[in-house]
Amino acid sequence: MRLVAVDWGTTSLRGALLDADGAVLETQSHPRGILSVSKGGFGEVFDSLFGAWMQPPNTRCLISGMAGSQQGWIEAPYCACPATPADVGHAIVDIEHGRIAIVPGLQCEHDGVPDVMRGEEVQIFGAMALAGLEDGVFVLPGTHNKWVTVQRGRVTGFRTFMTGEFYALLGQHSILARMLDADAPLDGAAFLQGVTQSGNGEGLLHNAFSARTLPLFQRMPVAEVASYLSGVLIGEELRTQSLRATGDVVLIGTPSLTDRYALALRSKGVATRTFGAEATWAGLYALSGFLDNP
Amino acid sequence: MRLVAVDWGTTSLRGALLDADGAVLETQSHPRGILSVSKGGFGEVFDSLFGAWMQPPNTRCLISGMAGSQQGWIEAPYCACPATPADVGHAIVDIEHGRIAIVPGLQCEHDGVPDVMRGEEVQIFGAMALAGLEDGVFVLPGTHNKWVTVQRGRVTGFRTFMTGEFYALLGQHSILARMLDADAPLDGAAFLQGVTQSGNGEGLLHNAFSARTLPLFQRMPVAEVASYLSGVLIGEELRTQSLRATGDVVLIGTPSLTDRYALALRSKGVATRTFGAEATWAGLYALSGFLDNP
């Protein structure tokens, strides 16, 4: 069996063609997230992008991400935590029986407040498979970052942090926007100064204002403010979460983001290991073992 | 002497005509904040709005707020904390000698990071005069809230919180925006639920996401989400600051904001007293005693 593995997110979509052993033969990515697809238009978009890959007999497709949400192709109800790969695999929802199926997301709850993920669970299972890990803290940076606890092969719980979205809001729409050069390369020292600032425990609402006063008083070059603010935000996450990490932290995502978390965590004495897109493909491959026979 | 007291802020401007005893004879307000005035155009705007009040002989004008910033009419350099009313009074800057003058703002510093205010110092001095207070914690809600410590008649330090701006950013531009009915009246129970949520110490980046998941899982009516998010934000301020308040907290601002802080602080067992625009007029009147003779 060949597998067409697809991570269909809110703003973008990535796919890989895997052979029977899970080796990646080809990949593609497109700015065709679910927000760009009209209700009822998913089949057509899928065929236009993956029709050629799906041609040969004995080819299956497994999709993860927001395509399984209410606003997606078909809704795949969340699995409750704690959840093993098998729990998620058995909850896979058919789109076209024997041909295309979709992975559900995960749901957990803290003190009566639900939390959710869609797509990250596949990356976690993939990294667990690639690294041979059954326990650990996994961090998946992005618009809505996830801090995830894995114990004895099960995702036991997680928390979402709106770090990426807050960074975009502050950089684009706030009073800080005109001081921020979002395209400036990361300045490691300014970034770590921001991480340290958040360690004062005075909270993001206060510490974010220092990204205004430091350049206002010529205490920081404007070119460094974006890196500093990124550090303040990620430092605020670490302030509440990094103590949960007793061993290494596994980072999964694009290098431009995972590098920042690695830098911040290292400054706190926490070692990291990092996975990228290969975790997604390995996760979908592992879950494809639970697909029904056609 | 009659005093034309003006609070000239970023987005709006308020003025009051005071008699020799500081009694308010008339007030006016306009959407003519400094952002709406071109550099060099302040004198003309002032004359058009306050020319009639300034006609009688022996009339002086004292201005506070962002009109004293780099982007304002004339820059009045910040006074350093600790600062008494006399320290600020002696640093008043003339615009037209013997006729129009401007109050400087305050600056303090925590661990190498500066913090600033412009206009709030006048409200604090006014509330101190009206209440006969020499010590206390003063909170001035707004786009950039201030928590201020006053000891023996001096402003010893303060912290800015971007609470109002974060609320606007999340309500207008974030993923929460479509769930938020910003015009819904305050729901006290949902607001206090948000305050309690922030008490978990998991940080704003995480707790803000609960304003998405609670309605998503039908745990909260959409009409209550704006009040809940307001509580999460104000609760995050209180988590870090309210322990500094050993006695009553003095709130200064518009009732729509001070009411929320009073509610949140009361839920923590902290009593409050509240002042509005009268604090501004009393502060400018008190500082007018330091104006030079013409």
Block residue for tokens 């015009």:
B183
> Are B163 and A216 a contacting pair at CB < 8 A?
no
| SS3 assignment, position A38 | coil
Q: Are residues A213 and B114 in contact, defined by beta-carbon separation less than 8 angstroms?
A: yes
Which of B110, B111, B240 shows the shortest C-beta gap to A203?
Answer: B240
Q: Which of B106, B114, B113 is CA-nearest to residue B148?
A: B106
Rounded distance between C-alpha atoms, residue B278 and residue B123, angstroms: 8
Q: Do domains A2-133+278-288 and A161-275 have the same CATH topology?
A: yes
Q: Which of A117-131, B136-150, B243-257 has the lowest mean pLDDT?
A: B243-257
> Are B209 and A115 a contacting pair at CB < 8 A?
yes
Whether the CB of A217 is below 8 Å from some CB of chain B: the reply is yes
- Residue B294: the pLDDT is 67
Question: Does ipTM come in above 0.85?
Answer: yes
Q: Which residues contact A38 (CB under 8 A, 6 or more apart)?
A: none
**Hey, what CATH class is B2-131+282-288 in?**
alpha beta
Query: What are the pLDDT digits (tens) for B173-225?
Result: 999 998 888 778 999 999 999 999 999 989 999 999 999 999 999 999 999 99
Rounded distance between C-alpha atoms, residue A137 and residue A242, angstroms: 9
Instruction: Detail the DSSP E strand segments found in B169-255.
Output: 249-252
**Hey, what CATH class is A2-133+278-288 in?**
alpha beta
With vertex at residue A110, the alpha carbon angle to CA A230 and CA A144, rounded to the nearest 5 degrees, is 30
Share of chain B above pLDDT 90, in %: 89
pLDDT higher for A103 or B246? A103
Rounded distance between C-alpha atoms, residue B110 and residue A63, angstroms: 50
> Are A159 and B219 a contacting pair at CB < 8 A?
no
Mean pLDDT of A90-110: 97
Rounded distance between C-alpha atoms, residue A1 and residue B19, angstroms: 90
Whether the CB of B200 is below 8 Å from some CB of chain A: the reply is yes
Residues of A in contact with B219 (CB under 8 A): 112-114
How many residues can be counted in chain A? 294
Rounded distance between C-alpha atoms, residue A165 and residue B166, angstroms: 12
Query: What are the pLDDT digits (tens) for B270-279?
Result: 999 999 999 9
Among B106, B209, B229, B233, the residue to mutate for chain A (most A Cβ within 10 A):
B209
> Are B209 and A111 a contacting pair at CB < 8 A?
no
| SS3 assignment, position B34 | helix
From chain A residues 221-280, the ones with a CB under 8 A of any chain B CB are 233, 236-237, 239-240
Q: Where are the domains of chain B?
A: 2-131+282-288, 161-275
* CATH hierarchy code of domain B161-275: 3.30.420.310
Instruction: Detail the DSSP E strand segments found in A165-280.
Output: 249-252, 272-275
3-state helix, strand, coil in chain A (%, to 5): 40, 25, 35
Helix and strand totals (H; E) in chain A: 10, 14
- Residue B83: the pLDDT is 98
Whether the CB of A196 is below 8 Å from some CB of chain B: the reply is no
| SS3 assignment, position A217 | coil
Work out the pLDDT band at B167, boundaries 50, 70, 90: very high
Q: Residue A232 belongs to what H/E stretch?
A: helix A225-241
What CA–CA distances, in Å, run from B275 to A109, B91, B293?
41, 25, 31
pLDDT higher for B275 or A39? B275
Mean pLDDT of A8-17: 95
**Token pair for residue B124?**
């604090």
Share of chain A above pLDDT 90, in %: 89
Burial category of B274 from C-beta neighbours within 10 Å (exposed 0-12, middle 13-18, buried 19 and up)? middle
Query: What are the pLDDT digits (tens) for A166-200?
Result: 999 999 999 999 888 877 899 999 999 999 999 99
Q: Which DSSP symbol is given to A78? A: P
- Residue B267: the pLDDT is 93
Whether the CB of B159 is below 8 Å from some CB of chain A: the reply is yes
- Residue A247: the pLDDT is 74
Rounded distance between C-alpha atoms, residue B82 and residue B108, angstroms: 8
- Residue B242: the pLDDT is 64
**CB neighbours (10 Å) of residue B179?**
18
Give the sheet arrangement for strand B145-151, strand by strand: B154-161, B145-151, B136-140, B249-252, B272-275
Query: What are the pLDDT digits (tens) for B78-97?
Result: 999 999 999 999 999 999 99
- Residue A181: the pLDDT is 82
Rounded distance between C-alpha atoms, residue B62 and residue B285, angstroms: 8
